Amino acid sequence: MSAAADTSTAPDPSAPRDTYTPTDRTVPTRSRQRASYDKELVHSILDEAYVCHLGFVRDGAPVVLPTLFGRVGERLYVHGSTGSRPLRAAGDGVSAPGLPVCLTVTHVDGLVLARSAFHHSLNYRSVVVHGTAHQVTDPEELRTALDALVDHVVPGRSADSRPGNAKELAATAVIRLDLDEVSAKVRTGGPNDDAEDLDLPYWAGVIPVQGGHGTPVPSGDLDPSVALPGYLAAL
Amino acid sequence: MSAAADTSTAPDPSAPRDTYTPTDRTVPTRSRQRASYDKELVHSILDEAYVCHLGFVRDGAPVVLPTLFGRVGERLYVHGSTGSRPLRAAGDGVSAPGLPVCLTVTHVDGLVLARSAFHHSLNYRSVVVHGTAHQVTDPEELRTALDALVDHVVPGRSADSRPGNAKELAATAVIRLDLDEVSAKVRTGGPNDDAEDLDLPYWAGVIPVQGGHGTPVPSGDLDPSVALPGYLAAL
């Protein structure tokens, strides 16, 4: 409601480009004051998420699937098998036109309880990316993308695991989506009850929603001499 | 990988219907052993989620938006303003044919770290619902749906808040999506490393991902005589 309001103004074209340019698709029809095009905010929301929800059109109908992704600068990489339907459809951008997609990431930060049922809400941070995805065919970019996918799950992990071999790389398809038509939406703060409801005898406020990690569970077949690395203990 | 495997068999048509019937769209192209059509499992995954990701097609392109939802038996209700684009497009099912949608819910339960980059994964539970959404126009059903939306955030809350008045009901649009073409997908367990990688000196196992609630934060304008109700303290 408030925290993102000061970043929702149109970018100054003469300033260094640290915002995305709003388009018809990225300006919300309501709660516009919650929208932001700030690149740093968008990156932080994306990087904190374990999965995105990838939408595409198949036989005229929408499909939304949860999937792993990674980010390298202004490029997102989404992972799949070479046999998966969306990845086949994406093509390589040369022989095929690419796949129109919408990639969305959402964090729920709090339950907003108002006196009125009408004003119940959630505190959240979300990013919506529109664009056309293309299959990554360059071997160098494919390796970079796969490292980014692993490091997105645990930063630093790609350097502490066995890299993909030729057979695995051949069985893996990755599509690329550029961060260009992008918006964030953020709600923070308490409930916005109507003035005449403030004296009603209902509890009102926010229940924070928290995420975190539990104690690491070693694989049953892990050699006991392999200690938990510091980057995992620090999660 | 394993927990859902025993529920992924096709339903017996002579048995009481406690599973959804698989369709072309709900049988995954890969990891079929993770798919389930068990109604109880689907309901539990839906009910635990604060938001769904709703996909629809606009001007030929996919759109995926996070949104509140509620469930009443085999019906889902998705909330929005009467001005929102997908809700206008859904129509009332009489004057308009309804809106093809895909509604997806995902919980991330663990980070699965394998010795090989290739076998890194997530433990997760997801539900994907395909169907056609219609706007709710019956006043009785609209009230039921709005209660379900509030009770989805906190069970029991609709009875402990001011119900919507005529003006609020007129400003609220709700679309209904029947649970019919539905599947769940579940991955549990540790990494599936190749046998020849088991001796590599990399830590392998699962980092549990946990969700929870923080201490409730009363609204700044809350009368101090209004105590935190038991159903919130128990979250």
Q: Note the pLDDT tens digit of each residue in B125-183.
A: 999 999 999 999 899 999 999 999 999 999 999 999 999 999 998 888 899 999 999 99
Q: Do A203 and B222 touch (CB under 8 A)?
A: yes
Structural domain count of chain A: 1
Q: Tell me if A158 is assigned to some domain.
A: yes
8-state DSSP, A19: B
Q: How far is B61 from chain A (nearest CA, A)?
A: 6
8-state DSSP, A96: S
Q: Do B84 and A197 touch (CB under 8 A)?
A: no
Q: What is the C-alpha to C-alpha distance for residues B19 and B62, in angstroms, rounded to an integer?
A: 29
Q: What is the C-alpha to C-alpha distance for residues B19 and A35, in angstroms, rounded to an integer?
A: 40
**pLDDT tens digits, A7-47:** 445 555 565 659 999 999 999 877 888 999 999 999 999 99
- On chain B, the residues whose CB falls within 8 A of the CB of A204 are 218-219, 221-222, 226
Q: Do B161 and A128 touch (CB under 8 A)?
A: no
- On chain A, the residues whose CB falls within 8 A of the CB of B197 are 162
Fill in the amino acid letter for A38. D
The 3-state DSSP class for residue B142 equals helix
Q: How far is A14 from chain B (nearest CA, A)?
A: 31
pLDDT at B212: 84
pLDDT at A30: 76
Q: Tell me if B136 is assigned to some domain.
A: yes
Q: Tell me if A22 is assigned to some domain.
A: yes
**pLDDT tens digits, B11-52:** 555 656 599 999 999 998 778 889 999 999 999 999 999 999
B88 vs B123 pLDDT, higher one: B123
Q: Do B64 and A102 touch (CB under 8 A)?
A: yes
Q: How far is A72 from chain B (nearest CA, A)?
A: 17
CA-to-CA dists, residue A94 to A32, A85, A121, A137, A179, angstroms: 38, 18, 45, 10, 20
For residues B66-105, one letter each, b for 16 or more C-beta atoms within 10 angstroms of the residue's C-beta and e for the rest, the string is bbbbbbbeebbbbbbeeebbbbbbbbebeeeebbbbbbbb
Q: Tell me if B122 is assigned to some domain.
A: yes
Answer yes or no: are the C-beta atoms of B51 and A106 closer than 8 Å. Answer: yes
The 3-state DSSP class for residue B148 equals helix
Q: Tell me if B219 is assigned to some domain.
A: no
B113 vs A3 pLDDT, higher one: B113
**ipTM value > 0.90:** no
Q: Do A115 and B217 touch (CB under 8 A)?
A: no
Tokens of B23: 């369709």
Task: Transcribe A174-186 into DSSP letters.
Answer: EEEEES-EEEEEE
A127-131, A134-138, B21-25, B209-213: which is most confident = A127-131
Contacts of B222 (CB under 8 A, 6+ apart): A203, A204, A205
CATH number of the domain where residue B69 is located: 2.30.110.10
Q: What is the mean pLDDT of residues A213-225?
A: 89
**A3 pLDDT above the threshold of 60:** no
Searching chain B, which residue's CA lies closest to the CA of residue A86?
B29
- Distance from the first to the final alpha carbon of chain B: 30
Neighbours of B9 (CB within 10 A): 10
Q: How far is A16 from chain B (nearest CA, A)?
A: 29
Neighbours of A197 (CB within 10 A): 17
Q: Tell me if B220 is assigned to some domain.
A: no
Of B57, B213, B223, the CB nearest to A208: B213
Q: Do A172 and B208 touch (CB under 8 A)?
A: no
Q: What is the C-alpha to C-alpha distance for residues A104 and B217, in angstroms, rounded to an integer?
A: 29
Range of the domain at A203: 5-208
Contacts of B37 (CB under 8 A, 6+ apart): B7, B8, B11, B19, B20, B21, B22, B26, B182, B183, B184
Searching chain B, which residue's CA lies closest to the CA of residue A209?
B213
* Helical spans, DSSP H, in chain A: 39-47, 85-90, 139-153, 166-170, 230-233
Q: Tell me if B173 is assigned to some domain.
A: yes
- Chosen for mutation from A24, A77, A105, A113 (greatest number of chain B CBs closer than 10 Å) is A113
Q: How far is A143 from chain B (nearest CA, A)?
A: 11
CA-to-CA dists, residue A32 to A35, A59, A190, B57, B169, angstroms: 5, 33, 18, 22, 22
